[in-house]
Chain A
Amino acid sequence: MTKVSMTVNGRPVSGEVEGRTLLVQFLREGLGLTGTHVGCDTSQCGACVVHVDGRAVKSCTMFAQEAEGAEVVTIEGMANADGSLSVIQQAFQDHHGLQCGFCTPGMVMSAAALLADNPHPSEAEIRAYLEGNICRCTGYHNIVKAIMAASGQDVSAIAAE
């Protein structure tokens, strides 16, 4: 076992991990941050997306020790300081961007990474950016709509189909 230390959602944390311990295992089982989900465990689905040093990564396809010293943000770190939902989270709720909710943590983290890079993405840019995030309920339509709304764009013309 090796000690690993990082900052998660602004809080310094450390723990003992094996070489093979994945970042997502450290977050969920080591820190109890179970908001980050393991969907496919094969880096296809994106339910496990978190930010490492500001970059969206699949935490099921990164070893915990690779995050030594890094700044990690998970879905638990996305709400506002007063506990209210962030703009992106609120937009997902307002525009029905989730049904079962399993993929939602990864969707929100990918959306946040996209908007940090590209504050006013087109619909095509959003769909391209979400290539690595799979949702089996919504058909993506309302997820895309929520992200457009979160970026301050008018979505009234997009049908609620």
Chain B
Amino acid sequence: MYAFDFDRPATLDAALAALQDEDAQALGGGQTLIPTLKQRLAQPSKLVSLTAIPELSGVRADDGALTIGAATTHAAVAEQAAGSYPALACLAAQIGDPAVRNRGTIGGSLANNDPSACYPAAALASGATIVTNARQIAADDYFQGMFATALDEGEIITEVRFPLPEKAAYMKFEQPASRFALVGVFVAKYPDGVRVAVTGASEEGVFRWTEAEAALSADFSPEAIAGLSVPSDDMIGDLHGTPDYRAHLVGVMTARAVRDAV
């Protein structure tokens, strides 16, 4: 790692001030950023840790929504969201491995927007709101392609608000070495319709499969999407799977998510 200054402020205001420095970088749980720094793929002048700010952590359910502080770990979401949003808790419990889940945070995952990460699928399928120090961003506007988001320089995610669905499930076809999603599909059924978000598959990052959404909104059953398929043009192709394979998996995992939705 290149050398950098390290700041661990206790308040959001102090963190925002610290991030004004040129090339300062926010640090969540570090489960992606630290390996990146070790490979010298990033050279921040300063890391600003967000883990000592009490208001950024916690899970609370109110008014038909589940609100999760950005610095809440995957392990905490798995434990504390199990009653109110079991599909989301189940997703959190499948990220990485136990030690990674004890450090990695939801805010870090969403800020990084890895094209194979799990949380972006949940946020997009739930029509979640990404709340920052400055504004509220709808998930439909937030994800802007591989590793790209609507966040501005120095902007910090403070919490994420998930409207609670009637039913939902996340199905992850795991790449067993990395434990990222080769393809992951999050299906969420709301009174005004069904949303389907796919991660791991597209070169453009997480996306909504609108054709399936329309079919499932009319008939919430695996059979409703039996004849549908996504084009493989924009799918990721690598040594783990071809674009065609990933496109096929999108349909398979969507059907399984519908079957198991709770």
Contacts and interface: CB of A to CB of B under 8 A. Distances in A.
B38 interface: yes
A62 B49 CA distance: 11
Contact of B37 (A18, A20, A49, A62): A20
B49 A41 contact: no
Interface in A31-67: 41-43, 46, 49, 52, 55-58, 61-63, 65-66
Dominant secondary structure of chain A at its interface with chain B: mixed
Contact of B179 (A63, A110, A131): A131
Contact of B30 (A49, A63, A110, A133): A63
Contacts of A2: 6
Contact of B98 (A20, A56, A61): A56
B99 A49 contact: yes
Interface in B61-110: 75, 96-100, 102-103
Contacts of A61: 30-31, 34-35, 100, 103
A132 interface: yes
A65 B46 CA distance: 13
B98 A19 contact: no
Contacts of A132: 96-100
Interface of A: 2, 18-20, 22, 41-43, 46, 49, 52, 55-58, 61-63, 65-66, 68, 110, 113-114, 129, 131-133
A113 B99 CA distance: 10
A51 to B, nearest CB: 9
Given A19-B47, A20-B2, A131-B98, 11 more contacts: A2-B6, A19-B5, A42-B38, A56-B98, A58-B99, A61-B30, A65-B49, A66-B30, A114-B98, A132-B97, A132-B100
Contacts of A62: 30, 34, 103
Given A41-B38, A61-B30, A63-B30, A46 B99 contact: yes
Given A49-B99, A58-B99, A132-B96, A43 B34 contact: yes
Residue of A18, A22, A56 with most partner-chain B CB within 10 A: A56
